[in-house]
Chain A
Amino acid sequence: MPDLEQATITATQAPAKGRYFTRFTHEQRYMHAVLFSTFLGLAGTGLPLRFSESIWARGLAKGVGGFGAILFFHKLCAVVLTIAFLLHVKEIFQQGILHRQKGIFWGPTSMVANWKDVKDLVSHLRWFVGLGKRPQFDRYAYWEKFDYWAVFWGMIVIGFSGYAMWFAPFFAHFLPGWALNAVLVIHSEEGLLAILFIFSIHFVNTHLRPDSFPMDMVVFTGVESEEEFKHKRPLEYERLSREGKLEARLGEAPQTWLVNFSRAVGTIAIVIGLTLLVLTLTAYFS
């Protein structure tokens, strides 16, 4: 993904706390914020539709003034997320194709999967069951790439099927009749997958696992401590040291307000997500 060479170089840091390194740019953090807030909005308004027979769905619908209000909010979040998605694609296109920036489509900083990811997955699984050493990860580990591509694919699939329902008579001009039926199946199943995946797998893998518990703050603050950096992504750390680019990635220790704010926002997001997860599971199995 985007190279971080241009990230702000700030030499000042709190020596007592150790050094902090920038992992995400402002743009990436804002993108994540837009992504997760619209996602929560879409999930919160989409689930009542998917499980419209359940008591909580009807209660919510009644509370906000019926389906009209839910649909409006769902579409609003969808449009905002679509714009964010298009801006992201434009960014990749500009950086990777127009500016021919290295590391966008291949190499250790790219989101594109490579052979090392396959090997990492296998050795990670082996390490889980005590059959080998823990693999060393570079900038993006295989599960992070999976998260990225799951969301990327999900947005295309859910977005397309959603717009096909929104503008059904228009889409009917070039889609076969059965596709109008299929888009609802696709939209709801893929949406359900996204919700279940994000609120269980992503939450645990990224935030709740012992390494990051209770929350990985890096996507909120943009920086992580040197210790964390070395531990989680030793290959990237070594590579940057070797190439002499480590200093360029030095960042400021996050300010207390930002940490607290991020923690509050993150906690709210996780609580909403887990609530929706429980509601989904109860509706699914009842």
Chain B
Amino acid sequence: MAEAAGAGRDQRAGEPLRNLRVAQRAIGAGVWAVAFASALLFCPARLVAQTDCLACHGDASMTDANGHSIAVDGKVFGDSIHGSLKCNDCHTNIKEYPHPEQVAKVECKNCHADQAASLAGSVHADAKDHPCTSCHGSAHKIFPKTDSRSAVYPLNVPNTCGQCHSGDGMAKKHGLPSVYPKYMDSIHGFALSKEGLLVAANCQSCHGSHHILSHKDPQSPTFKANIPQTCGKCHAKINDEYMGGAHGKGIAKGDNKAPVCTDCHTAHEILQPTEAEFRMQSTPICGSCHTDKLSTYRDTFHSQLGSLGGYVETARCWDCHGAHEILPASDPRSPVNKANLVKTCGACHKGANISFVQYQPHANAHDRKLNPEIYFVRLFMNLLLAGVLTFFIIHTILWLIRARYNQIKEKSNGGGKDA
């Protein structure tokens, strides 16, 4: 019995229901025999208690005509959230034994009307599998979400959603990205799977549960403009900082070009920002909007060092500009405000002084008006390089031709090595 329950827990979420539906046609020869035998014993009788049904369905090996299990583990069901209900509270068309061949589809919404209404408007509304058991697990093994046996217990949610939203799952059929493995490797996924943190964000923390909407829907918690608020449910302080910065103000004004949390941190594969990998990938993200700043940054030592990796300390955009509360340089609170530069640069450069911070991290050697000194230094160096190389390349080529010519001539004259 316990073994059967264990196996049943691993079943695909939709199966039990499918089994029940299949049971409509399922009362095949074997089952008929059992039913007939039972009929002899009990004759037509009203079904009132679980035990009545379990007399047959308690047999773990019980299957329908197609071989699907129609067994119910009475003990597990008794423990489950619906354990106090009678079977025909859900299987409403079964009043007596023997019951009809057709078993009506169980309508959860008869009791759970609010959830059913939420679900009806969600992206999962048109699911072909039973929408409730797909997530809540086997119909006879539904536990409260605070119970670790529940498929929607926080630590089980990613696995439950991942049944479809992973590489070879349902998501692939619908052309959705495979987010489950990304999530599992993220800082949230690690907190959940390795540390077992119940407060770690799982799928439903951001997407909701019954009323899941597309990120394109302005009502969705994952709609771009709503993301700061969604992440801010946990990251409250960072959300406050973000909303005070240039990007947060942009979003608040309805400027959807401004980046939100997920633009930098990504939605699912969220990395620890101190990790080399995150530091390596982040600069181009800022640069995708701030293209001119990226190109001038690329010319600096910071970028040259940074691009090579293994040296994660090298200044990236947010090391100087701040990460969440990004303020214009004119704001006295900005780390790149003139008054704060010694402190900002000094975070890495010990001994930074007023003169040192005159360094321009975005100098443009091609802009004569903005950076005349650097412009002319570059021009001089380029001319020197081009001049020296041009002269000597011509000199060397001519020399090579002439020397070879002489060598061949000397040889044909019977002379030795001479040129």
Contact = CB atoms under 8 A, between A and B. Distances in A.
Interface stretch (B3-11, B66-74, B354-362): B354-362
B373 interface: yes
B238 interface: no
Interface in B341-357: 349-353, 355-357
Ranked nearest first, the 3 interchain pairs of A and B with the lowest CB-CB distance are: A66-B310, A177-B358, A189-B381
Interface in B371-419: 371, 373-374, 377-378, 381-382, 384-385, 388-389, 392-393, 395-396, 398-404, 407, 416-419
A124 B396 CA distance: 11
B360 A190 contact: no
A15 to B, nearest CB: 19
Contacts of A173: 353, 355
A193 B358 contact: no
Interface of A: 48-50, 52-53, 57-58, 61-62, 65-71, 124-125, 127-130, 143, 150, 165, 168-170, 172-173, 175-182, 184-186, 189-190, 192-193, 196-197, 200-201, 204-205, 209-211, 227, 231
B358 A180 contact: yes
Contacts of A62: 309-310
Interface in B290-307: 298, 300-301, 303-307
Given A189-B381, A189-B385, A205-B399, A181 B308 contact: no
Contact of A128 (B305, B399, B418): B399
Contact of A193 (B353, B389, B403): B389
B365 interface: yes
Interface residues of B, number: 53
Nearest to B352: A169
Given A165-B301, A193-B385, A211-B403, A70 B396 contact: no
Interface of B: 298, 300-301, 303-311, 314, 349-353, 355-360, 363, 365, 371, 373-374, 377-378, 381-382, 384-385, 388-389, 392-393, 395-396, 398-404, 407, 416-419
For A49, A170, A181, A182, the residue with the greatest tally of chain B CB atoms inside 10 Å of its CB is A181
A67 B378 CA distance: 25
Contacts of A53: 298, 307
Contacts of A197: 388-389, 392
A250 to B, nearest CB: 22
Nearest to B396: A204
A130 B405 CA distance: 11
Contacts of B314: 67
B388 A67 contact: no
B9 to A, nearest CB: 44
A190 B308 contact: no
A125 B398 contact: yes
A184 B359 CA distance: 11
